[in-house]
């Protein structure tokens, strides 16, 4: 499974999205379930899946899926297709 | 509280049906209130411009009972998080350390709801650098993943550990901790925080003193245990037990005691605790009469904290064993 697939699975699970609703350019404002609890769930899920835990400051800057990928790319976790 | 009560009456039809005649209170006991049991029977939601409802907070109902349902909203949640952090920071310093939760991370994923346990755990988040879940199965304390705990013990001098009282006891008190973990624990400062009450430990005849002694016996110098009382119907306002055995009321909250039969306010006597706070915007849970017994204590507390304080004395006899009250 690629990192893109792992991230998609994780976010679909947390944000209760069907595969057809998921996009890699999805933003927080587009998803009703992306509330403060989902922010924590994403931080915990990313840690359990990729082994990196966002700092509280990093978690605050996440406005969408591209931000998650960009942050993880800085930790050498690649999302190249 | 008058303004808040009017706002709920004006924008929450079920609440208005109960308190339609309210014109204003001159004393705390005249303010509109609801019995905690009503939140099991009715859904309250205050709707007006600027209120964005999010999830529903469910109490951890005991088997066969009905859970309370509290409609959370964005603005109140922010106030409630700040409130919990302010209260707890008086008992735990603000050192950044990982928060370990005795629950499964799967509990974070629930369709439109949040459990009392997750809400309680997340109230500690402002006092933590990061958050980790220790259990593979949410309701099974013996499913603790020792490798996660060992990894965090290896990399941090101090850890914050939250769990419901009974789960903390079964996971890290009355259990066989692996030797390797015991060795790591012995040199680390562990700040245990628990809530949810003692009723599930009643059969084990374990009291607070033995509970604390056993937990701390594994841990390094400076480790502490903090026990707090709170209700989902008063989310955001929690009452840690101080060193002198009292619960202190923050400035944005208040407590009344009422006679269980007449509902008349009592001074200096034991009765039903009525808890109120100024935080809830999305539903009228700002003032609730509980099924818990307590007594307001006059004077200054030996612990040095000022303001109102009370003693929590137990439950009303034959009251339903609720999952979220710490009695």
- Domain edges within chain B: 2-315
Asked if B122's CB is within 8 angstroms of A35's CB, the reply is no
> What confidence score (pLDDT) does residue B318 get?
63
Cβ-Cβ contacts under 8 Å, A33 against chain B = 112
- Each residue's pLDDT expressed in tens, for chain A with a length of 81 residues: 999 999 999 999 999 899 999 999 999 999 988 888 889 899 999 999 999 999 988 998 999 999 999 999 999 999 987
Using the beta-carbon criterion (under 8 Å), do A40 and B111 form an inter-chain contact? no
- Secondary structure letter of residue B111 according to DSSP: T
Tokens of B46: 């205050």
Quick check: A44 and B118 CB within 8 A? Answer: no
Distance from CA of B280 to the nearest CA of A (A): 17
Distance in Å, alpha carbon of B149 to nearest chain A alpha carbon: 14
- Residue ranges and CATH numbers for the domains of chain A are 3-73 (1.10.1200.10)
Residues of chain B below pLDDT 50: 323-327
The C-alpha of A63 sits at a distance from chain B's nearest C-alpha, in angstroms, of 17
d(CA B167, CA B247) in angstroms, rounded, equals 23
From chain B, the residues in CB contact with A54 under 8 A are 130
Tell me the per-residue pLDDT of B21-73, one tens digit each, with 9 for 90 and over.
Answer: 999 999 999 999 999 999 999 999 999 999 999 889 998 655 557 899 999 99
Q: What pLDDT, on the 0 to 100 scale, is given for residue B327?
A: 45
Q: Name the DSSP class of B274.
A: E
The pLDDT of residue B60: 66
Residue in chain A lying closest to B148 (CA): A48
Instruction: Using alpha carbons, list the distances in angstroms from residue B268 to B265, B276, B293, B312.
Output: 10, 19, 13, 13
pLDDT at residue B326 in the model: 45
The CATH architecture assigned to B2-315 reads 3-Layer(aba) Sandwich (3.40)
Predicted confidence at residue B310, as pLDDT, reads: 97
- Closest-CA residue of B relative to A37 is B108
* pLDDT at residue B126 in the model: 86
DSSP H helical segments within B208-251, as ranges? 208-217
Nearest residue to B18 (alpha-carbon basis) of B264, B253, B287 = B287
């Amino acid at each position: 499974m690629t990192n893109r697939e792992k991230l998609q699975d994780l976010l679909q699970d947390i944000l209760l999205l069907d595969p057809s609703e998921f996009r890699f350019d999805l933003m927080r404002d587009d998803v009703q379930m992306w509330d403060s609890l989902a922010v924590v769930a994403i931080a915990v899920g990313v840690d359990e899946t990729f082994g990196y835990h966002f700092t509280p400051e990093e978690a605050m800057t996440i406005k969408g899926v591209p931000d998650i990928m960009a942050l993880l790319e800085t930790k050498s976790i690649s999302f190249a297709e | 509280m008058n303004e808040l009560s009017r706002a709920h009456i004006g924008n929450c039809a079920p609440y208005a049906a109960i308190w339609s005649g309210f014109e204003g209170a001159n004393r705390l006991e005249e303010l509109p209130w609801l019995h905690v049991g009503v939140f099991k029977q009715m859904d309250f939601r205050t709707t007006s411009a600027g209120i964005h409802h999010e999830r529903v907070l469910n109490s951890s109902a005991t088997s066969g009972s009905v859970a309370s349902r509290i409609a959370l909203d964005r603005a109140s949640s922010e106030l409630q998080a700040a409130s919990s952090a302010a209260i707890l920071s008086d008992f735990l310093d603000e050192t950044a350390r990982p928060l370990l939760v005795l629950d499964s991370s799967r509990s974070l994923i629930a369709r439109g709801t949040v459990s009392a346990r997750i809400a309680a755990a997340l109230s500690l988040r402002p006092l933590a650098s990061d958050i980790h879940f220790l259990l593979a199965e949410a309701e099974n304390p013996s499913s603790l993943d020792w490798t996660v705990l060992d990894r965090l013990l290896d990399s941090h001098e101090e850890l914050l550990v939250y769990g419901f009282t009974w789960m903390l006891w079964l996971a890290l008190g009355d259990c066989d901790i692996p030797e390797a973990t015991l060795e790591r624990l012995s040199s680390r400062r562990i700040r245990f925080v628990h809530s949810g009450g003692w009723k599930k430990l009643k059969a084990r005849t374990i009291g607070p003193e033995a509970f604390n002694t056993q937990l701390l016996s594994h841990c390094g110098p400076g480790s502490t245990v903090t026990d707090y009382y709170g209700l989902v119907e008063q989310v955001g306002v929690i009452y840690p037990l101080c060193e002198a055995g009292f619960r202190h009321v923050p400035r944005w909250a208040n407590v009344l005691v009422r006679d269980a039969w007449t509902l008349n306010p009592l001074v200096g006597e034991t009765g039903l605790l009525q808890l109120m706070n100024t935080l809830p915007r999305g539903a009228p849970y700002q003032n609730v009469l509980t099924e818990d017994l307590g007594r307001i204590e006059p004077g200054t507390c030996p612990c040095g904290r000022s303001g109102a304080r009370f003693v929590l004395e137990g439950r009303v006899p034959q009251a339903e064993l609720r999952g979220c009250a710490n009695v």
